[in-house]
Amino acid sequence: MSYAIFAIGFLAQAFFSARILLQWILSERAKKVVSPTIYWVLSMLGSYLLCLYGWLRDDFAIILGQLISYYIYIWNLHEKGAWQKVHIAFRTVLFLTPLVAVGFALRKPEVFVETFFRNDDVPLWQVVFGSAGQVVFTLRFVYQWQYSYRRHESILPLGFWIISLMGSAMIVSYGLFRHDPVLILGQSTGFLAYTRNIFIYRKERQTARKNSES
C-alpha cells in the first residue's frame, strides 16, 4: 500500500515539476516572466493528487498547504478563460472534492485531531513546522492572486518567486525530518527555476530602466 501512496505523491510532484519546467522555458523564450495557462492546469492536477497523498499519509501540513492554493489555481484558470471550457460536471467534481473531504474530516473532530495532531509518526512540533512551511509556500499564491486581481490578469510577480524560495526551503527541511522523498525531491527541483525567474525579472527591469533613460 505504501508504494501506491508514494506513487500518487510522485505523480503529483511530476505535475508540479512539469509546470515549473514549462513556465521556465516559455519565460526564457519570451525573455520575460510569463504566466501560461498550462502552468495553472498542471498546478491544479498536482494539487488535487498531493492533497490525496497528504490524506493517505495522515499529514495535515500537506493538506493545509494545498487547500488554499487549489482554489487560487482555479481562479487563475477562470481569469484566463480556461476554466469555463471544462465540462460543468467535471468542474463540479474538481471544485467540490476538497470541500467534501474537509467536511467529512470535520464530521468527527475528535478522530481528525487524533489522526493528524496526535500521530506518533508525526510529532506535534513537526506538524507545526511543516504547517508553517506550507503556509509560507501557499502565501506566494495568495500574494499572486492579490497582485493579479488588482490588475485583472494572471501574473507571476517577483515577490511570488522570492516567497517560493523561502517556503520551499522550509518544506525541504520538513521533508528531511519526515524522511519523505516526495517532498524532498519535489521541492528541490524548484530551486533553480525560482532563482532563474528572479534573475529574469531583474534583467527585465534593468532593460526597461535603460530604455527609459535613453
Q: What is the pLDDT of residue 184?
A: 81
What's the per-residue H, E or C state across 58-125?
CCHHHHHHHHHHHHHHHHHHHHCCCHHHCCHHHHHHHHHHHHHHHHHHHCCHHHHHHHHHCCCCCCHH
The residue with greater pLDDT, 80 or 127, is 80
Q: What is the pLDDT of residue 115?
A: 58
pLDDT at 85 over 80: yes
Averaged confidence pLDDT in the chain = 83
pTM across the whole model = 0.76
Span 13-41, pLDDT tens digits? 899 889 988 998 999 999 888 999 999 99
**Residues whose CB is less than 8 angstroms from the CB of residue 3 and which lie 6 or more positions away in sequence, other chains included:** none
Lowest mean pLDDT among 38-42, 48-52, 133-137, 192-196: 133-137
Q: What is the pLDDT of residue 130?
A: 76
Lowest mean pLDDT among 33-42, 88-97, 146-155, 198-207: 198-207
